[in-house]
């Protein structure tokens, strides 16, 4: 085994680390994505500071990998679990940073799959859920952007279109793309052509402050092309980003926790919403618990910032009955195995798991392989547009085709069973 790192750019144009691991079957590559609406308990990135790239360079990390870590890895002949444990042991006092551990872990995990001559999703599936049928995840397409991902007045960060009524992943992608383009026309007519400019995840950043309006507009687009009964809706409020001084700032009003809960209840009553992510800020356990107990049986309440893909925080949320689904982001945990610890605990307790990209992404479709590998049944990777987003959806098309071509591998599209464990 041999390591080589370099600095590359992510989708927002910020530097990030790329790590290659060379083995007998070729080179396996790992990248670190980056969030904008980050949780306080996420693995901490390490950046150089100083002048280069306004302090965001990762050249110190690159040097560490190419020097000291490569020397150590050359002597290493342990298995995948031992490799993962080694990364954690090297990261004492955050010496490497969560960005470096993420890239090391993804490169290494791909390497161990390649040693077995298996595609990553197959290698992971045999390890994580060997007796289960393969499930292609339902895509959650974020087609209207607000919050920290857009420059508009929309408090809610993500409005997602979910093709639960499609028959296959490829049909889901087709529905997603058709509705995205129809919505674009509707917005251009209603708000003018600049309203179709997009945010960080490829969704339209329209000049709108009313948090209900995007739901109506997406349904209108779906209805116009006869797909209304094929789709559901979801939001990621990322509420930490509009919380200040004990209040939530929504549509120019300051709301208490309970007032905001009423907004969500009305939304889920009036619209076909199946999933609410981060409806409250990350310490508002009262809000999370209230919403989960009131509507958690019909709507999944997804924890992102409150869980940070951390098994201890999942346990805490289980004890507090705060939510019923985990958002899985590998770079929040810092390694693949730590994120799997969180998802195993979630699955064991009948939570659902949604594998997620970050708003600052790269072209690597690793999360698609991971989502199929752990039968997460759900994935979110932004709009069905922009190469760093479509890279993930396109990889799922390839996996779907591969599974369809292999006679003895049963598989299905999660569809309306997106929550079944
Ligand atoms: P982030 O956004 O990558 O900026 O954190 C994604 C999310 O909040 O789910
Ligand atoms: Zn989120």
Q: What is the pLDDT of residue 9?
A: 98
**Nearest atom in ligand 1 to 380's CA:** 9
Task: State the closest ligand 1 atom to the C-alpha of 39, by its place in the atom list counted from 1.
Answer: 5
Nearest CA to ligand 1 atom 1: 35
Please tell me the distance from the alpha carbon of residue 96 to that of residue 34, in angstroms, as a whole number. Answer: 15
- In the block, residue with structure tokens 């945990």: 333
| CA 279 / ligand 2 centre spacing (Å) | 9
Give residue 137's pLDDT: 98
Q: Which atom of ligand 1 is nearest to the CA of 327?
A: 9
Question: What is the average pLDDT across 180-192?
Answer: 98
Q: Is the pLDDT of residue 293 over 70?
A: yes
SS3 101: helix
Q: What is the DSSP string of 116-135?
A: TT--HHHHHHHHH-TTSPEE
Question: For 36-62, how does the pLDDT look when each residue is reduced to its tens digit (9 = 90+)?
Answer: 989 999 999 999 999 999 999 999 999
Does residue 407 carry a pLDDT above 90?
A: no
Query: Does the annotation count 201 as an active-site position?
Result: yes
pLDDT band at 383 (very low <50, low <70, confident <90, very high): very high
- Residue 219 CA, distance from chain mean position: 23
Backbone angles phi, psi at 18, to 5 degrees: -115, 130
Which helix or strand (DSSP H or E) is residue 389 part of? Answer: helix 387-405
Q: Which domains, ranges and CATH numbers included, belong to the chain?
A: 2-117 (3.30.390.10), 127-417 (3.20.20.120)
What is the pLDDT, as a whole number, of residue 420?
A: 74
pLDDT at 149 over 70: yes
Cα separations in angstroms, 409 against 117, 119, 128, 138, 194: 17, 14, 16, 19, 47
pLDDT band at 96 (very low <50, low <70, confident <90, very high): very high
Q: Is the pLDDT of residue 421 over 80?
A: no
Ligand 2 center to 378 CA (angstroms): 14
CA distances from residue 80 to 89, 97, 107, 131 in whole angstroms, order as listed: 14, 20, 11, 21
Neighbours of 223 (CB within 10 A): 14
Q: How far apart are CA 217 and CA 221, in angstroms?
A: 6
- pLDDT tens sequence across 342-363: 999 999 999 999 999 999 999 9
Distance of alpha carbon 361 from its chain centroid, rounded? Answer: 10
43: left (phi over 0), alpha (psi -120 to 50) or beta: beta
* 175 close to 184: Cβ distance less than 8 angstroms: no
Q: Which two tokens stand for residue 404?
A: 């369809």
Let me know if 316 is a catalytic residue: no
45, 84, 201, 311: which is the annotated catalytic residue?
A: 201
First-last CA distance in the chain: 37
Q: What is the mean pLDDT of residues 245-258?
A: 96
> Nearest Cα to 136, choosing from 375, 384, 420?
375
Ligand 2 center to 236 CA (angstroms): 5
CA 34 to ligand 1 center in whole angstroms: 9
**Residue for token pair 């396996």:** 28
Residue 354, phi then psi, degrees to nearest 5: -115, 120
Please, are residues 44 and 29 in contact by the beta-carbon 8 Å criterion?
A: no
> Is a pLDDT exceeding 80 seen at residue 72?
yes
Rounded mean pLDDT, 318-327? 98
Query: What would the pLDDT profile of 107-146 be if each residue is shown by its tens digit?
Result: 999 999 999 999 999 999 999 999 999 999 999 999 999 9
Tell me, using a 6 A CB cutoff, whether residue 35 lines ligand 1: yes
Task: Give the pLDDT score at 114.
Answer: 98
Give this prediction's pTM: 0.98
């Amino acid at each position: 085994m041999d390591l080589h790192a370099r600095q590359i750019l992510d989708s927002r144009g910020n530097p990030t680390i790329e790590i290659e691991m060379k083995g007998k079957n070729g080179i396996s590559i790992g990248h670190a994505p980056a969030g904008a609406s980050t949780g306080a308990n996420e693995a901490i990135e390490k950046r150089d500071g100083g002048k280069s790239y306004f302090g965001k360079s990762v050249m110190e990390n690159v040097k560490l990998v190419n020097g000291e870590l490569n020397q150590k890895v050359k002597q290493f002949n342990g298995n995948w679990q031992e490799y993962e444990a080694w990364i954690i042991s090297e990261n004492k006092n955050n010496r490497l940073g969560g960005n470096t551990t993420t890239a090391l872990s993804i490169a290494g995990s791909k390497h161990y799959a390649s040693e077995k001559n298996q595609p990553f999703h197959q290698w992971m599936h045999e390890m994580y859920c060997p007796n289960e049928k393969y499930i292609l995840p339902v895509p959650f397409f974020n087609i209207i952007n607000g919050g920290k991902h857009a420059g508009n007045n929309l408090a809610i960060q993500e409005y997602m279109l979910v093709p639960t009524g499609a028959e296959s992943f490829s049909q889901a992608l087709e529905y997603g793309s058709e509705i995205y383009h129809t919505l674009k026309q509707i917005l251009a007519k209603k708000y003018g052509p600049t309203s179709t400019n997009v945010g960080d995840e490829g969704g339209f950043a329209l000049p709108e402050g009313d948090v209900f309006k995007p739901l109506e507009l997406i349904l209108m687009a779906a209805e116009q092309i006869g797909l209304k009964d094929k789709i559901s809706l979801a939001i990621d409020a990322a509420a930490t980003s509009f919380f200040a001084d004990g209040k939530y700032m929504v549509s120019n009003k300051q709301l208490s926790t309970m007032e905001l809960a009423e907004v969500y209840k009305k939304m889920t009553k009036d619209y076909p919403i199946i999933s609410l992510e981060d409806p409250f800020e990350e310490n508002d356990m009262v809000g999370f618990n209230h919403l989960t107990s009131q509507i958690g049986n019909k709507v999944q309440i997804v924890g992102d910032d409150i869980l940070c893909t951390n098994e201890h925080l999942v346990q805490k949320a289980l004890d507090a009955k705060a939510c019923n689904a985990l958002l899985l982001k590998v770079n929040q945990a810092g390694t693949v195995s730590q994120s799997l610890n969180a998802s195993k605990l979630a699955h064991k307790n009948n939570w659902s798991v949604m594998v997620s990209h970050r708003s600052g992404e790269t072209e690597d479709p690793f999360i698609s392989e991971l989502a199929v590998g752990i039968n997460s049944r759900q994935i979110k990777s932004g709009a069905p547009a922009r190469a760093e987003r479509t890279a993930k959806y396109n990889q799922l098309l390839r996996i779907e085709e591969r599974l369809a071509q292999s006679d003895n591998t049963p598989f299905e599209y999660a569809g309306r069973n997106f929550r079944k464990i």
